[in-house]
Amino acid sequence: MSPVYDIRSEQDADHSAVRCLHALAFGDPDRVPGLVDALRARGGTTALVATADGAVVGHVMLSPGRLDAPERLVDVLSLSPLGVHPDHQRHGLGTRLVAAALAAAEQLACPAVFLEGSPTYYRTRGFTRADTLGFRRPSLRIPAPAFQVALLPAHRPWMTGTFVYADPFWTHDCVGLRDLEQIARIEAAG
């Protein structure tokens, strides 16, 4: 029997549990938890948690980014990170968190949400390979198939161009991959 999950806005009291969750989900005690802390401190984020029996078992964050479009800069969002506790993976919780994040972005009248991640996973959750729609990735270390976008109702056809991450992504080295062989494999499968 699958646990019952509740998804709600992140509260200040959740911060410690969210740090632990991302450390477990990403196998690194500092990089992604540090990114989350820095994005929160920067402001403008929308964060959701999933709980089971009162414990935080999932987290997703939307943070401000920019689209350097030909007409003008456009405020957009980045969906990152998405973390689910290892004991709660493969129960559809990540899918529910992505759907809730996209619904929140739509409520904010955001035109597009960007991410870098598994094309196989995110393609079935509302995302499309971004370069096929006229968007340019912010780093060559992001394999083209992994750079994805979900276009929302506020999007207009002229809104194309280069996606720009908020500074904390760069400061915490959370843009792209460092393994050139892995980049090549993803590009070839793309």
- Map out the domains of the chain as residue ranges: 6-189
Instruction: Work out whether the CA dihedral 139, 141, 42, 48 comes out positive or negative.
Output: positive
Q: Which burial class, exposed, middle or buried, applies to 182 when counting CB atoms under 10 A from its CB (0-12, 13-18, 19+)?
A: exposed
| 187: three-class secondary structure by DSSP | helix
CATH T-level assignment (fold) for domain 6-189: Aminopeptidase (3.40.630)
**DSSP β-ladder status, 112-116 and 73-84:** parallel
Per-residue pLDDT tens over the stretch 146-165: 999 999 999 999 999 999 99
**Quick one: how far is CA 102 from the chain centroid?**
10
pLDDT of residue 188: 79
pLDDT of residue 180: 67
**Which residues of the chain are under the pLDDT cut of 70?**
1, 180, 183, 190
Phi-psi label, residue 100: left if phi above 0, alpha if psi -120 to 50, beta otherwise: alpha
As given in the structure block, the two tokens for residue 136 are 């340019």
Contacts of 84 (CB under 8 A, 6+ apart): 21, 25, 50, 57, 58, 93, 94, 97
pLDDT of residue 184: 73
pTM above 0.75, yes or no: yes
| 152: three-class secondary structure by DSSP | coil
Helices (H), the chain: 15-26, 31-42, 93-107, 119-123, 167-171, 180-189
The HSE-up count of residue 89 (CA atoms within 13 Å, CB side) is 11
